[in-house]
Amino acid sequence: MGISLITELPFGFTVFCLLVGAAYSYLLYRKEQLMMDLPKWQSRLMSGARFTLVSLLCFLLLGPMLRVVSREVEKPIVVLALDASKSIINRKDSVDVIEKYKTSIEKVASRLGGNYDVKLLSFGDHVRDNFDFSFSDKETDFSGLYKDLDTKFANRNVGAIVIASDGLYNEGSNPVYGPDRLKVPVYTIAFGDTTIRKDIVISKVTANKMAFLGNNFPIEVWIDARQAAASSLTLNVSEDTAKLFSRSISVSGNNFHTSVPLFLDAKKKGIHHYVVAITQLDGEVTYTNNVRDFFVEVVENKQKILIVSAAPNPDESAIKNAIEVSPNYEVSITSPSDFTGRINDYSLVVLHGLPSQRVDAVSLLQKVKAARIPMWFILGANTTVSDFNNVRAGMQVADNRGSLNDMQAVPAVNFSLFTMSDDLLKQIDEWPPLKGPFGIYSSNGNAYTLFNQKLGAVVTKQPLLSFADADGVKYAVLAGEGLWKWRLADFSSNGSHDRSNELISKIVQYLSAKENRSPFRVIVKNSFKENEALVIDAELYNQSEQPVNEPEAHLTIFNAKGDQFPYVFSRTENTYSLNVGQFSVGNYRYKAEVKLGDKLYVQQGEFSVNALQMEISNTVANHQLLYALSQKSGAISILPGDEDKLINALKSREDLKPVSFTRKKLEDLVNLPWVFFLLILLLTIEWFIRKRAGSY
């Protein structure tokens, strides 16, 4: 360790500090009668204390800092990650299995603790520190584990990763291709049983989340039967106590697969809870996968969305595919010259590259505006900026020069029209930039900005995506085209289009929703996963249409049995929010109340909590995947009981070595406690001697 003293000003100024201290002490005590009466050592002590005090105070004005250079050694980090999902113990002898796996992973952790810095994690539907031997997670997401490791241990001396799992995953991308960016060997401990035992499984139920009143809707049930040849099964579908469908199935082999298509009638509006069950046979390894729940919301009609483009472009398909993930919407794509339908049939019109002098869309725009239909403008190479500014959609573009500019998205603050997931907001600034008209962008006073523009490395306050309400008509403006690039980037990073779909669908849902003019509005999804926290937002507006949250707002949730769960909303900046945690699977109703002045406002609705049954659908471990994962990174896969083989393999690696590095630290001298106490001591010495001599 090396310690040196540096100053912000030239160190030679220290001479002046000493001169100031000497001059101050001399002028103070040169004619002091007290100095004549005191013993010489006391007078010198007082004079020296004053000299040191003043000199030190002047020296501190030079900004002195201590520079400490130390050398540190970091052990190689070995991460032990335990799969804490339910599939690990999906067996009748689960108690013995837990003890066996606990002994295995803890043995590895204890044996490696001396030579390595061992980090313990559990993963499933989320990642947390330390081992979780409850094995209760409803999903298995290796991708989430990789992202967490990348965040926590970036630029650290990570030597190896050890994953204890059964190789079954049901969320995220294929685990074999995930850890490449970590660039460390991935060892695996293969938990679970690969023996194929007698089991009847409802492996999948495919059904739309939404159906339309008066129609029938399709369902497909996938059934696996293992080691159950010549068995006779019965498949039943029911709602509450009513049996809606039944079919007999004959098992023709020990590895039997079949699917059963069926149709149900949507007779009543609302959320319906259906149960699919199949016969339980003696000797099955588990009965939990013989039953499946699913929910279908029955709505009155389908909303139509119209996409009108100045020219064909890939954004059309990107928007259409994202919207039609929900069966509640029907999307049509056209050009201004080809449109012949009734504009009043549509709930939202998306205008891509319009208005434009290249195509005549004046008549269509007039019809849309006259029908007071919400509009979403997407600006691009075909947009005529001056004509767009005349629409007054909440965003204006000044100083346009006819060229295009790259605009990256950055989340804005205080956006309150709807909520976006944290995953989306964290990733949006990593997606490719959109290309829109060059210019200076601004929003009017009542516009809400979701994303601002990032131009190069500069984050601006210019809006990229904003929403406005003019004369009762809702508008959205996206300042650039290229949404198809966002969908590709989303799939590349996450193995799905979930986040880009979420963004587009939230925009469409807000714009196409029938306007709720009630002063009290409740914002809640109609469907939640059983491992997802229920978050419910609310807004309250006064007579001036200003958001307020001074009155206390209450919420009561009712389950199917009629049990009540009362809550009080928390206040945010100017709205309400409530996180009630996780609820069990089922249908629920809610009733929200708030009193503003002498008026009581009430909002009611319903939602469902859907079961996650993916962890119980497969009882056969996938050790081949774990072997491929380890082999790809130059590591090995072992079974419980072979821990010594794993430990020896780790200790024999020459690349798992401690890393020595130099750490430099600068600390202001004025912030050190001993400097403060030294100044107090000098003042105390002088004061004590003078007081004792009767000076003051």
DSSP assigned state of 472:
T
**DSSP assignment letter at 170:** -
Strand partners, 121: 81, 129
Cα-to-chain-centroid distance, residue 615: 22
Alpha-carbon distance of 398 to 377, in angstroms, equals 17
Total Cβ atoms within 10 A of residue 609:
22
Q: Is residue 262 within 8 Å of residue 586, measured between CB atoms? A: no
Say if residues 443 and 414 touch (Cβ distance below 8 Å). no
Q: Is 113 helix (H, G, I), strand (E, B) or coil?
A: coil
Whole-number Cα distances in Å, 335 to 53, 329, 332, 354, 387: 84, 20, 10, 10, 18
R_g of the chain, CA atoms, integer Å: 35
Q: Report the DSSP beta bridge partners of residue 293.
A: 275
Sequence-separated (6 or more) residues with CB below 8 Å from residue 676: none
Residue numbers of the chain with a pLDDT score lower than 50: none
Task: Note whether 76-194+621-657 and 520-609 share their fold.
Answer: no
User: What pLDDT shows up at residue 256?
Assistant: 93
Looking at domain 520-609, does it have CATH number 2.10.70.10? no
- What's the confidence (pLDDT) of residue 261? 93
Contact 237, 244 (CB under 8 A): yes
* Selection from 663, 664, 650 nearest residue 76 by Cα: 650
DSSP calls for 391-423: H--SEEEES--S-EEEEEEEEPSS--SS---HH
Cβ count near 490 (within 10 Å): 23
Structure tokens that stand for 323 in this block: 């919207």
Q: Angle at which helices 40-60 and 14-29 pack, to 10 degrees?
A: 140
483 and 508 Cβ atoms separated by less than 8 Å: no
Q: What is the pLDDT of residue 303?
A: 86
Q: Are strands 303-309 and 348-352 parallel, antiparallel or unpaired?
A: parallel
Contact of 646 with 108, CB cutoff 8 Å? yes
| Domains of the chain, residue spans | 2-70+665-692, 76-194+621-657, 199-300, 303-512, 520-609
Q: How many CB atoms lie within 10 A of CB 455?
A: 14
* CATH number for the domain whose boundaries are 76-194+621-657: 3.40.50.410
Look up residue 68 and give its two tokens: 């400490």
Sheet strands side by side (includes 659-668): 2-7, 64-74, 659-668
Tokens of 482: 């290229």
CA-based end-to-end distance of the chain: 47
DSSP assignments along 40-70, one per residue: HHHHHHHHHHHHHHHHHHHHHTT-EEEEEEE
Cis ω for the linkage preceding 433 (within 30 of 0)? no
Output the pLDDT for position 305.
95
Strands 117-123 and 637-638: unpaired
Contact 323, 305 (CB under 8 A): yes
Please provide the DSSP assignment of 219-275 as one string. Answer: EEEEEEEES-TT-EEEEEEEETTEEEEEEEEE--SSEEEEEEEEEEE--SSEEEEEE
Copy the structure tokens of residue 76: 């190689």
Q: What is the pLDDT of residues 419-441, one digit of tens each?
A: 788 888 888 989 999 999 999 99
Burial of 568 (0-12, 13-18, 19+ CB in 10 A): exposed
- Which tokens sit at 549? 């949250």
Query: DSSP label at 148?
Result: H
Rounded CA-CA distance 260/250 in Å is 12
Q: What pLDDT score was predicted for residue 501?
A: 93
C-alpha span between 383 and 22 (Å, rounded): 77
Residue 584 DSSP class = -
Q: For domain 199-300, give the CATH number.
A: 2.60.40.10
DSSP 3-state of 202: strand
Beta-strand pair 158-165/186-190: parallel
- Side chain identity at residue 268, one-letter code: K
- 414 by Cβ neighbours in 10 Å (0-12 / 13-18 / 19+) ranks as exposed
| CB proximity list for 542: less than 8 A, separation 6 or greater | 519, 548, 596
* pLDDT attached to residue 510: 87
Instruction: Kindly report the CATH class assigned to 303-512.
Output: alpha beta
